[in-house]
């Protein structure tokens, strides 16, 4: 495992520990690395009004954007699953907003093993500014 992936995995695991998931008990952590090589992490935060819940991936991306970054170099998502955990549809759309053709997505299982993919493979027909 290369150093960048190891750092992302470490930050995502730490974020997962801070997850607030009293309703689903489905704890997720994510970490993104921006163009500046800084890592931003996030966890899922649930709410009794389910529509107000935010996923780990969006939490991490919004931190990155708040810090002035606009481009994801790589993103990693991890949960307590045996399978590789993919981002949900809403997160895929947000990931695509801040990605380039070089952005890598790492989907991890609870053991830290991962599958590497691209945004294009996750969401081939994304909604973009071209439609506006």
Question: What is the distance between the terminal CA atoms of the chain, rounded to a whole angstrom?
Answer: 40
8: phi then psi, degrees, rounded to nearest 5: -60, -45
Q: Kindly state the DSSP code that residue 50 receives in the 8-state scheme.
A: G
Do the beta carbons of residue 82 and residue 108 sit within 8 Å? no
Active site residue 57: yes
Query: Rounded to the nearest 10 degrees, how much is the dihedral formed by the CA atoms of 59, 48, 86, 126?
Result: -70
Catalytic annotation, pick one of 10, 17, 57, 83: 57
* Token pair belonging to 61: 């991306």
Q: What is the DSSP string of 57-107?
A: HHHHHHHHHHTT---EEEEEEEES-SS--PPPHHHHHHHHHT--TT-EEEE
- Would you please indicate which residues are annotated as catalytic (active-site) residues? 57
């Amino acid at each position: 495992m290369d150093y960048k992936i190891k750092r992302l995995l470490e930050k995502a695991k730490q974020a997962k520990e801070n997850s607030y998931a009293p309703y689903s008990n489905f704890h997720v952590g994510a970490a993104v690395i921006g163009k500046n090589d800084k890592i931003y992490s996030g966890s899922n935060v649930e709410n009794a009004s389910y529509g107000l819940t935010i996923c780990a991936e969006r939490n991490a991306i919004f931190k990155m954007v708040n810090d002035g970054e606009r481009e994801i170099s790589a993103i990693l998502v991890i949960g307590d699953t045996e399978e590789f955990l993919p981002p949900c549809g809403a997160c895929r759309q947000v990931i695509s907003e801040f990605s380039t053709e070089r952005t890598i997505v790492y989907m991890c299982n609870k053991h830290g093993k991962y599958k590497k993919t691209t945004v294009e493979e996750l969401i081939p027909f994304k909604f973009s500014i071209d439609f506006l």
